[in-house]
Amino acid sequence: MSGTLNKVMLIGHLGDEVKMHYFEGGGCIGRFPIATNETYTNRQTGEKVTNTEWHNIVVRNKAAEICEKYLSKGDKIYVEGRLKTRQWQGEDGNTRYSTEIQVQDFTFLSTKSESMSNAQSNTPQEQRPISGNPGTKPIENTAHVSEPEPEDDLPF
Amino acid sequence: MSGTLNKVMLIGHLGDEVKMHYFEGGGCIGRFPIATNETYTNRQTGEKVTNTEWHNIVVRNKAAEICEKYLSKGDKIYVEGRLKTRQWQGEDGNTRYSTEIQVQDFTFLSTKSESMSNAQSNTPQEQRPISGNPGTKPIENTAHVSEPEPEDDLPF
Amino acid sequence: MSGTLNKVMLIGHLGDEVKMHYFEGGGCIGRFPIATNETYTNRQTGEKVTNTEWHNIVVRNKAAEICEKYLSKGDKIYVEGRLKTRQWQGEDGNTRYSTEIQVQDFTFLSTKSESMSNAQSNTPQEQRPISGNPGTKPIENTAHVSEPEPEDDLPF
Amino acid sequence: MSGTLNKVMLIGHLGDEVKMHYFEGGGCIGRFPIATNETYTNRQTGEKVTNTEWHNIVVRNKAAEICEKYLSKGDKIYVEGRLKTRQWQGEDGNTRYSTEIQVQDFTFLSTKSESMSNAQSNTPQEQRPISGNPGTKPIENTAHVSEPEPEDDLPF
DNA sequence: TTTT
DNA sequence: TTTT
């Protein structure tokens, strides 16, 4: 399918460290929040208002490992992905919703890490060994990674 | 500001009619859900899986009026906007979140309406009289509308 | 790499049929033009002006085959890719430039073809046999295809 | 109109200073090139290849003034706009083409300028006095500017 | 050269 | 709750 498009593009700063989860099958997932800002001027009062929006970013497998290795709180990142709203049952029995950005592509726009490898990844295979990708030649402070297309749903 | 980017681009089908809310000051807001689909093949089982994702679309003022007038359940639309997560207190006292797409631009990709005006709007003024824009010359079945930048927060 | 982004997103109509080129190694390339329109009102004269912009679309391998099979002049398509400006020597010895959109992803938004297969492709391998993907089950009139990341430069 | 979309999004570095042109009517235009990079690994040789792509950026009026004031060669910028291919007659009588990105929105991602104002602009009026927008409160090193929708064609 |  |  499907004649539809589901795309999100964000540039923002990490509000926290990357939190990793590892699965038995060998896969993993990383999560972190990023903040975007919007500023405008209130027409009545003339005062400037800044709103901060928080986004839940989810990265998988090799991309997650790279993010964990090179990103820290405060770093700036470009993220591209799709919106996914998960739902679950709250303790009170009510359905709760949480909207996430499932990352397909990203580029570091700043990092505090002094040594950053040229971390481009276009490897399409799933669950490939997370190995020699980063680490060798600390060339620059940016990385560009493309995710393979959606795999099976991990239990998230 | 602000060195950040908050952008969503969707092509999908309306799952329901546009629901309008009118404010005392003259402004209005329209809401409708759109569905996007993602299809992939499960690598273990080989079966094809389709996931539907639902997005809460929010349009304002003139753009809302145009959407209400020309869009119906099932119609296909391109929507561009920014992510905004609203929060409120649930009856149980817990904080609830709801993520919306606040529309900045859209284009109709199909409509059932037989008569559709050439609804291009780039008018920047807020709360301008919703007047002759739609309705007069039913030229085509597409519309392209750009929203002026964010105004004051309406009570939504 | 690289901390940069090169992205184009278009919705437009094919101005001509898909033209295919086949290479010895088994790869292929498809080219077609798509038109986008921009309409605005001249502020001095009040008259409505429409500008048409033409874009040179380039698709590779499996994606090219799908486009050739299902797209015709006049069809509407969503195309996502990157900008690439090729240059060559004109007969007069001057350098000439031509900017193309190298497709990474696309979705059919309309087709005249009566039988359209469910042509989703996320296969990452290069030069894979172009085989059973289209053709079998004519399910719908949309296709969604993602290109694997850039390969070696074909002689184009 | 028009049921079409013409959108480019780039993150790249300025390859040169902003070149300004001023018109009699009071408008102005700024031009500068930005570079994006693409890196991939040649599958035959295993060597890493980097391609640089150059894009011709065109900004108008107030946005142009801001760019000229705060951007320098080497700075990083996010740019959003539409593709436009201009054509003209070469001296040899042949038609030449040049594709540009006409900026609608941008955000500075780095600047060398020590004092940078909070340069958000969503002013919709054409040819408005380029005045107090920048300069007052040097808050940060980023700017975010949205262009009003297309105006009359300037002689460019 | 498309579409409305 | 859409569409194919």
Nearest CA in chain A to C5: A107
B22 within 8 A of A54, measured Cβ to Cβ: no
Q: Does C2 touch chain A (CB under 8 A)?
A: yes
Query: A12-16, B127-131, C55-59, D117-121 — which is least confidently predicted?
Result: B127-131
Query: Which pair of tokens denotes residue A49?
Result: 């208002």
CATH class of domain segment(s) A8-119: mainly beta
pTM, full prediction: 0.82
User: Between chains, do B39 and C107 touch, taking CB under 8 Å as contact?
Assistant: no
Measured in angstroms, the CA of C139 and the nearest CA of chain D are apart by 25
Structure tokens at A116: 């950053």
The reply to whether D54 touches chain C by the CB within 8 Å rule is yes
The pLDDT, as a whole number, for residue A110 is 83
**Does A56 lie at the interface with C, CB-CB under 8 angstroms?**
no
How high is the pLDDT of residue A18?
98
Instruction: Quote the minimal CA–CA distance from B144 to chain D in Å.
Output: 6
Closest protein CA to C1' of nucleotide F3, residue: B13
Contact check, Cβ <8 Å, D109/A76: yes
Nearest CA in chain A to B86: A53
Nearest nucleotide to C39, CA against C1' atoms: E4
CA(B133)–C1'(F2) in Å?
A: 28
Closest-CA residue of chain D to B110: D3
Q: Are D70 and D143 in contact (CB under 8 A)?
A: yes
Residue C125 CB contacts under 8 Å (≥ 6 apart), including other chains = A124, C148
What are the residue ranges spanned by the domains of chain D?
8-119
Q: Is the CB of B82 under 7 A from strand F?
A: no
B150 close to A (CB below 8 A): yes
Tell me the average pLDDT of chain B.
Answer: 78
Position C139 scores a pLDDT of: 30
Helix (H, G, I), strand (E, B) or coil at B71: coil
**What beta strand segments (E) does chain A contain?**
5-14, 19-22, 28-41, 48-60, 76-89, 95-108, 144-146
Angle CA D116–D122–D126, to nearest 5: 110
Q: What is the pLDDT of residue B120?
A: 35
Burial class, B106, CB count within 10 angstroms (exposed 0-12 / middle 13-18 / buried 19+)? buried
Q: How far apart are CA B87 and CA B82, in angstroms?
A: 16
> What whole-number distance in Å separates Cα of residue C26 and Cα of residue C28?
7
What contacts D78, CB < 8 A, 6 or more positions away? A11, B5, C5, D9, D10, D11, D106, D107, D108, D109
Quick check: B124 and D124 CB within 8 A?
yes
- Residues A87 and B96: beta-carbon distance below 8 Å: no
How far is Cα of residue D10 from the mean position of the Cα atoms in its chain? 9
User: Chain E: nucleotides under 7 Å from a protein CB?
Assistant: 1-4
pLDDT exceeds cutoff 80 at A39: yes
Please state, rounded to an integer, the average pLDDT across all residues of chain D: 79
CA distance A144 to chain D (A): 9
**Does at least one atom of strand F sit less than 7 Å from the CB of A3?**
yes
pLDDT (tens digit per residue) in A79-123:
999 999 998 887 777 888 999 999 999 999 986 654 444 343 333
Contact predicate D28/D22, CB 8 Å: yes
Chain D residues in contact with B108 by the CB 8 A cut-off are 3
